[in-house]
Each structure stands twice: as structure tokens, then as C-alpha cells.
Chains A and B, each alone.
Chain A
Amino acid sequence: MSAIKINKLTKTFGGITAISNIDMDIDRGTIAGLIGPNGAGKTTLFNLLTGMYTPSSGDISYKDKNIKKLKPYKITDYGISRTFQNIRLFKNMTVLDNVSLAFNHNIDCNIFSAIFRLPSYYKEEERIHDSSLKLLEIFNLEDKKDELAKNLPYGEQRRLEIARALAADPDLLLLDEPAAGMNPNETKELTELIKWIRDKFKLTIILIEHDMSLVMGICDKIYVLDYGTLIAEGTPDEVQNNERVIEAYLGRKVSC
């Protein structure tokens, strides 16, 4: 069953073609890897999927809906959430608030109940508070809940970003280089964490990564991008032995 289907997706910026004729069909509940040299267009693809860019041509079909013209917050409403390559936390908000914020679009009260402090406001605040804390516990961040996000060490910031993305209640989670800057131990923990959240939250995950141990370790299927086009797709084994892929990476070693 398809989680998200991309059909001949193309994106040009002025004279530059960032993405060209991409076809992808990702099954529900799988973890798909998106790899390729820097500048291949991976983050651009994420930006297209989340509505930050509008495709120049092509379609994106999610839950039987064509989402290519929707605004980002609407797409989040439909169940797609993401993390960012360069960590975009709300630096001067607390850890707890960062996560709570993502619950906003599912809130069941309005501005008036907030201003006049009606019962529905308190009920929702409590629900959000408890749900946020539960998520923080999963990511081992609950004792830092009142800390400002900018004061967290790098690894915890990355975890917080994932926690925040999950608070948005997605069915499809896009992770943009979640292991960047992590040491092998942290990466191993992250690998287990990703598998675990996929199972617990019943997610489909698309993962951009350069760390091949992570990619080959948990991905069910891998897509390889180079200069904006899809040059290979398949299981980790298939992709590792693909000549075009090896060429694109200039003989980059893949460790198992």
C-alpha cells in the first residue's frame, strides 16, 4: 500500500534544474533512504514534499490527495512532518514548548477560550502538557523540559527536533540528516530509535543521510539521487552494487 507517490516531479529555479523527473512510490510502514552526493537535490525534494516549494511540474500524491499546491501547515495537518538539515529549533523557547507547539494544529479550542480562560482551554493545555512530557520521556529529555532549546548539546537538539516532529502527529516522517555530527555510538542509538518509533507510531519514514551504516542498516529501500535525477533505486544490497551509484560517489566505501 502506497504511503506517498511522486510522479515525474521536477523543480527548476530560474535556469537551474534542481530536481528532474523523479518517480517514487513508497510503501506504508517502510523506511526509505534517500542518498546522493551533496547538492543532488535531496533536501529540495523534502521541501517539495512538505510544501515549502511548489513543483515546476509533476505530482505528489499522498493519501489519495494531490498535495503539491498545498501550504506547508496544511500538509502537516494531513500527516507529513519533518526535521531539518541544519536544525531549526525554536531556540529561545523551552524544550517543552518546542514540542508543545507541534500539538497546536490538533487543538480543540479557540482563541476566545484562551483569552477568557474557559474550561476547554485548561483541558487542552493539560492534554498537550501531558502528551509533550510523554514524548520527551521517550527521547530522554524530560528532565530538561524547562531548558531553552539553544542550551542543549548538539545530540539532544537533534533528538528534540525528532520529538517535535512526532508531536505533529504524522503518518509520514521526513528526517533530514538526523545523524549529522553524531559519533558511531550515538548513530547506533539513533538507528534503534528510528526503528522503534516507526513501529510504535506506525510511521512511514523517508531518511536523508550520508552515514551509510545508518542507511544500509535500517532502510527497506534506497533511492539514489545525483544532479537532481534518480539514478538508482532498490534494496541496500542492490544499491551498494550498482555501478552508477559507485561512480556517483567516486568509489566511496560502504561499511556494513
Chain B
Amino acid sequence: MGKLLQQLVNGITLGSIYALIALGYTMVYGIINLINFAHGDIFMLGAYIGFALTTFLNMSFIPALVISMLSCAIIGVVIEKVAYKPIRNSSRIAALITAISVSLFIEYVMMYFVSAETRTFPDVLAGKKINILNGRVILNSKDIYIIIITILLMIMLQYIIHNTKIGKAMRAVSLDSEAAQLMGINVDKTISYTFAIGSALAGAAGVLVGVYYNSIDPLMGMVPGLKAFIAAVIGGIGIIPGAMFGGIFLGLTETMVSAYGNSLYKDAVAFAILIIVLIIKPNGLFGTTAREKV
């Protein structure tokens, strides 16, 4: 029982990270039909920026987190303007290949400049052990921080989406961009905002992962990026609550497979879930079925 609760907490923590990254994927796909392969690399950049801020500028956790998020937001907007805008009227295959090229570019530029070795994140978030249930479950305060910060960010996101003008614009553009334009919405600006918010969330995830696992490397975005994408698909790509759900679901599943099954196969299980979802309900658990008009 204690072990189960422990694993549940681990799963939710991991799932929170996936959810934060998945939100960026899902928002971008919802608005411009692009699987932003480079999104996982923004997560990596967030970790490195957090690393640089805490190591070289001796910042504490919260300021580092905020600045990293802001930087990632800017980077996301720049990537969109430079790489994705030119191919906005191309097919999804072209967009995917372009996204892959951006991802490779970021990864290997980082590799070239900071080398492939892993760096250690300074311990800015003191990990305290908390005993609950008479010591049967040992929580690390880092878990609590991650879960709480994730919840806070998601609440903020929901507020932006549903209670601000830019959120309304984002929802409108993802439903019908031409109609949105006719209603006076600046589609370019809306897309930029979407990238900014999604990238900020990925950056936050990067800092949190750096803090939690203490090590970062230039290719750290690849696997979490793919897993977060799987999470977004599970929930229904383009659907924000779906990304949150998918992230937690995938985190829990992966943790359970690791704990009770064979941890070596956890990646394969994630991909297997992806394929099953794509085949049975491609629009995700929260999605509707679309149909091509003949």
C-alpha cells in the first residue's frame, strides 16, 4: 500500500512534467497543425538557462524559473517567425520535416557549444523528506514543489485561455482562422502568443526537471519530447485539458510499468500506447471524430 502510494506520487510528478510539455505541443498543433518537434528542445533550453542562472548568477529557484520561462517564450516566438512562418501554407509533412530540422539544429548547436556531457544542476530546491502515513510513504518536498507549480501554471493557463482576450483569440483561430481574421483578430500575433505560452511552459518543465533530477544534457529533450507528444495525442491533440490528462496518465502508466513490470520496456509501452490510440481513436480520448468530405 505504501509502495503504491509512493509510485502514485512519482507518477503524478512525472506526469506533471509531461503535461507541461504536452500543453505546448497541443496548443501549437491546435492552432497551426504542426507537430513542433523542436518543442522538446525548448524544454532542454529551459533547463540549461535555469542551470546557467543558478550556477553562474547564483539565482535562487523562483527567479531562475521565471526568467527561464520568459527566455523560452522569446525563443519560441523567434523559432516560429524564422522557421515555421515560411512553411505555413505547406502540407503537414513539410511542416513535420521542417520541425525535425529545427530540432536537430538546436540540439547540435548546443552540443557543439556546451559539449555532450551532462551538467549538474545546483541544489536550489532543498529536498526535504516528509514522512506521511507513519513512514510508509516518504515524499520528497521536490515532488510537492513540482506538482504545486504545475497546478499553478495550469490554473494560470486556464485563466488566460478562458478569461482574456488573447485566449479567446487563440481559441477562435484554432477553430477557424479565416473567420477569426474577418473578426479583426491578428492571426500572426495570436500564433506568436501561442508559441510563447507553450514554450514558457516547456521551459518551466525544463527547470523543474533540472532541479528534480539534477542532471542536464543537450539531448535530454528528445525522449521527454516524444513522450509528451504521446501524452498530447492520448488526450486529443489540440485539446488543452486532454494534454493535462494525457500527461498525468502517461506519467502514471510509465511509473507503474517501471515499478511493477519491467522498467526496461517503459519506453516501448509508451510508444505502444501511442500506436493503439492512433489506430483506435486518433483524435484522442477527449477528441471528436473528423471526416474528410468526398
Contacts and interface: CB of A to CB of B under 8 A. Distances in A.
Interface of A: 13, 43, 47, 52, 84
B291 A13 contact: yes
B294 interface: yes
5 contacts: A13-B291, A43-B294, A47-B294, A52-B294, A84-B294
Among all A-B residue pairs, the 4 with the closest Cβ atoms: A47-B294, A52-B294, A43-B294, A13-B291
A13 B292 CA distance: 12
Contacts of B294: 43, 47, 52, 84
A52 B294 CA distance: 8
A199 B291 CA distance: 38
Interface residues of B, number: 2
Contacts of A84: 294
B271 to A, nearest CB: 30
Interface of B: 291, 294
Contacts, number: 5
A57 to B, nearest CB: 19
Nearest to A85: B294
Contacts of A47: 294
A49 to B, nearest CB: 12
A52 B292 CA distance: 11
Contacts of A52: 294
B246 to A, nearest CB: 24
A43 B294 CA distance: 8
A102 B144 CA distance: 64
A40 to B, nearest CB: 15
Nearest to B289: A14
Nearest to A46: B294
A43 B291 CA distance: 15
A47 B291 CA distance: 13
Contacts of A13: 291
A255 to B, nearest CB: 30
Contacts of B291: 13
Nearest to A44: B294
B292 to A, nearest CB: 10
A47 B294 CA distance: 8
A18 to B, nearest CB: 11
A68 B294 CA distance: 17
B294 to A, nearest CB: 5
A13 B294 CA distance: 14
Nearest to A47: B294
Nearest to A13: B291
A57 B262 CA distance: 48
Nearest to A84: B294
A52 B293 CA distance: 10
Nearest to B291: A13
B281 to A, nearest CB: 15
Nearest to A176: B294
A248 to B, nearest CB: 23
A52 B291 CA distance: 12
Contacts of A43: 294
Nearest to B288: A14
A170 B237 CA distance: 42
A84 B292 CA distance: 14
A2 to B, nearest CB: 26
A149 B294 CA distance: 20
Nearest to A50: B294
B31 to A, nearest CB: 25
